[in-house]
Amino acid sequence: MDTAPLQTPLQFLKGVGPRKAADLRKAGLHTVEDLLFRFPRRYEDRSRLQPIASVKPGQMAAVAGEVLSAGLAATRRPGFKLFSALVQDASGQVQVVWPNQAFLRDVIRPHQQIVIFGRAEIWGTRGLQITDPEFEILPAATDADAADAMPATLHTGRIVPVYERTGSVTTNMQRRFVHQALELLPAALFDPVPADLTVREGWPSRRTALAQTHFPDAGTSESDLNRFRTPAQRRVIFEDFFVFQAGLALRRQQNAAVRKGLVCRVDDRVRAAARAVLPFKLTDGQKGALAEIVADMQREWPMQRLLQGDVGAGKTIVALLAALVAMENGFQAAFMAPTEILAEQHYRTIARWLSGTRFKVALLTGRVSKAARRPLMAEIERGDVHLVVGTHALVQEAVQFQALALAVIDEQHRFGVIQRATLAAKGLHPDVLVMTATPIPRTLALTECGDMEVSVIRGLPPGRRPVHTRVTPDSRRDEVYALVRAAVAEGRQAYVIYPLVEESEKVDLKAATAMAEHLATAVFPDLTVALLHGRMKGDEKAAVMQAFAAGSIHVLVSTTVVEVGVDVPNATLMIVEHAERFGLSQLHQLRGRVGRGAHASTCVLVYQAPWSEEARERLKAMAETNDGFVIAERDLQLRGPGDFFGTRQSGLPQLRAGDLTRDADLLELAYNEARRRVDDHALPAPVRDYVQQVWQRQFGLIAVG
């Protein structure tokens, strides 16, 4: 297989010196392949340059000519300068103006050949001009080196790719490099995409696809190109997805081999045991999800499943029943939560649910004393403890298990490829069940989360009433306090949440503390008000949380430590201060802390002006719907997929050409095709090798196998 030309380092291209190579590296471009898989940002049809004399005001103009004169001119507005150039072709002249770009004086000079794209308009007494256009200086014909590497037809007289600038590498240079790179490719280029698919989809060959993606033939629809819908582009995007998905599928297959011995069996005895611990009737949604999970646990390869269910949907019992299946098969299970508060809450619930069984549950958090920890670890290692509940870090890093068959990870949609690799590195290949209330669009589940399959619990347990949400300005705080009084008078409890962001942590913490004090002394002197925040010691936090759960605190003022998972059904009022500062999914999580029992609940989003348009949109969405799926979709629209998880995950596969939103259909196709071919052992050996190579290179430590 000849993949060598694609692996040529970029320094070997003409014109790429050390400085440019470094800039390209910074953008993740090391090899010819990297460069070719980096799509243009957009395309411009420059095949029809027009004579300057034909330019009409109000139209986009595409002209080429010689710069006759160029210079900076002051305007009447102090400090505001115009750079303007007079450009001439055989038919006439036109004035071209760039507002406020003084640096152009070092770029655009008389006698240069220039191409201009921009809007033509009539400007006062100056007559026709083209304002603030895109431009490109054409190489001087005397520059032999440039002229030979860069025929004029690359930049004009054709449909031209426009690239994102990379440090010192301009779009012009990149166009030149890409052109050179394409010339390096042999006619018979190795192609990882199965031929039958290429034929079925009507795609061009790999080499043609890459060439057409960067330098489309004349006549290719500019609008198709700019929507990345041409067969050539889709072929390249598909390859990107396919190689990634094939790598995931191969890894899954290889994991199955190491995992033998952890496969569960479900018979009548196991089913009876599950029924015995069941504290209530499962909803249909819960039953469906449990069936999918248990089916996975009976297969030879490790489960990688995301359990989605809106806040309050009842994910915990589903996971516990899965854990019970593992334990009934003689294996261990681990339950990991993102915070100590949540781990402790799970521990209490689970210990209660399992109290009638022979299984031993242990809690493992930072609060467990060193003295107590050692014997506990020993018990886990011997297999005397069957279920460990703890925080992510502890369970992942510190513990040795005897036979860990199931790892449940709660409220952590970032648990992806890397974390599973950590488990695998410890020789653990448990079934992994990740639970989240944030509905993750399928495209993201297939990539950002690795290769997870998704189960969804639709609907809520019976008897729940939707939370009533209102958006209230800070100035009407009295009404909010009246709601607190009314709730407490009926025997209910309330949360008051303060934002806490790292950048202004001190100020935020002070605000929350001051608020707690103000509420306790001035507003509700007759009620019990307590404060909870992330900086408190574990013991203090646990004490406050327990008191709130027991009903002895009326009003809990808190920073967002109660954001996820906390379950106190008697709390029916959620007040979010500075709601304009929270993200949508965070607000939805917070609102999910109420409406968990039989009583009607209210969520009040208190905002302080001025608020941004986006904040207004967010609060509006919250007031309009209680549906987590709708909220997640709105969130995705408002933030874009790159930022869906708040921060971009580090170390996870970065796709090169594909865009998860735009190309969702191709991702789905790649997923199905790769899975099927790998599972049927139908992937040719050279393709397998290639996939391994790409993974090794692109994803490093999480390489296949």
537 binds, among ligand ADP, Mg ion, none (CB under 5 to 8 A by kind): none
Q: Could you tell me the two tokens for 218?
A: 């004349």
Q: How many residues can be counted in the chain?
A: 705
Q: Does 591 bind ligand ADP (CB under 6 A)?
A: no
* Shortest CB 240 distance to ligand ADP, Å: 35
DSSP 8-class letter at 654: P
Q: Which is nearer to Mg ion, 315 or 429 (CB)?
A: 315
Q: Which is nearer to ligand ADP, 283 or 698 (CB)?
A: 283
Of 158-166, 307-315, 469-477, 690-698, the segment contacting ligand ADP by CB under 6 A is 307-315
* Shortest CB 548 distance to ligand ADP, Å: 15
Q: Does 282 bind ligand ADP (CB under 6 A)?
A: yes
Q: Which is nearer to ligand ADP, 281 or 506 (CB)?
A: 281
d(CA 59, CA 76): 27
- The residue with tokens 């996971």 is 319
SS3 653: coil
- Residue 432 class from Cβ within 10 Å (0-12 exposed, 13-18 middle, 19+ buried)? buried
Q: Which of 314, 441, 450, 658 binds ligand ADP (CB under 6 A)?
A: 314
Of 92-100, 210-218, 417-425, 562-570, the segment contacting Mg ion by CB under 5 A is 562-570
Q: Which of 38, 175, 235, 315 binds ligand ADP (CB under 6 A)?
A: 315
- The residue with tokens 């999970």 is 293
Nearest to 649 by CA among 379, 394, 364, 447: 447
Alpha helices, H only, 601-657: 613-624, 628-639
Neighbouring residues of 565: CB distance < 8 A, sequence distance ≥ 6: 337, 338, 339, 342, 345, 410, 411
Q: Which is nearer to Mg ion, 285 or 565 (CB)?
A: 565
314 binds, among Mg ion, ligand ADP, none (CB under 5 to 8 A by kind): ligand ADP
* Shortest CB 411 distance to ligand ADP, Å: 8
- Residue 204 class from Cβ within 10 Å (0-12 exposed, 13-18 middle, 19+ buried)? middle
Residues between 522 and 551 that touch ligand ADP (CB under 6 A): none
312 binds, among ligand ADP, Mg ion, none (CB under 5 to 8 A by kind): ligand ADP
Q: Which is nearer to Mg ion, 348 or 675 (CB)?
A: 348
Q: Does 316 bind ligand ADP (CB under 6 A)?
A: yes
Q: Does 440 bind ligand ADP (CB under 6 A)?
A: no
d(CA 497, CA 692): 48
Q: Does 311 bind ligand ADP (CB under 6 A)?
A: yes
* Shortest CB 365 distance to ligand ADP, Å: 18
Contact 365, 538 (CB under 8 A): yes
Q: Does 283 bind ligand ADP (CB under 6 A)?
A: yes
Q: Distance from CA of residue 628 to its chain's centroid?
A: 17
311 binds, among Mg ion, ligand ADP, none (CB under 5 to 8 A by kind): ligand ADP
Total of residues contacting ligand ADP (CB under 6 A): 18
Task: For the chain, state the CA radius of gyration.
Answer: 31
Cα separations in angstroms, 206 against 37, 77, 158, 185, 586: 11, 55, 22, 10, 44
Of 81-89, 280-288, 327-335, 673-681, the segment contacting ligand ADP by CB under 6 A is 280-288
Q: Which of 87, 130, 225, 437 binds ligand ADP (CB under 6 A)?
A: 437
Of 290-298, 315-323, 482-490, 578-586, the segment contacting ligand ADP by CB under 6 A is 315-323
Q: Which is nearer to ligand ADP, 3 or 546 (CB)?
A: 546
Residues between 400 and 419 that touch Mg ion (CB under 5 A): none
Q: Does 565 bind Mg ion (CB under 5 A)?
A: yes
* Shortest CB 660 distance to ligand ADP, Å: 26
Torsion over CA: 95, 100, 102, 104 (sign): negative
278-283: long-range pairs with CB below 8 Å, 24+: 278/317, 278/321, 279/317, 279/353, 280/317, 280/461, 282/314, 282/317, 282/318, 283/314, 283/457, 283/459, 283/460, 283/461, 283/462
Q: Which is nearer to Mg ion, 203 or 347 (CB)?
A: 347
* Shortest CB 692 distance to ligand ADP, Å: 39
Q: Rounding to the nearest 10 degrees, give the CA dihedral for residues 663, 668, 671, 677.
A: -110
Contact 612, 580 (CB under 8 A): yes
Q: Does 139 bind ligand ADP (CB under 6 A)?
A: no
* Shortest CB 553 distance to ligand ADP, Å: 19
d(CA 37, CA 210): 8
Q: Does 280 bind ligand ADP (CB under 6 A)?
A: yes
Of 118-126, 127-135, 309-317, 388-396, the segment contacting ligand ADP by CB under 6 A is 309-317
Side-chain-side CA neighbours of 313 within 13 Å: the count stands at: 30
Residues at the contact surface with ligand ADP, assessed by CB under 6 A: 280-283, 286, 309, 311-317, 437, 461, 567, 569, 596
Residues at the contact surface with Mg ion, assessed by CB under 5 A: 565
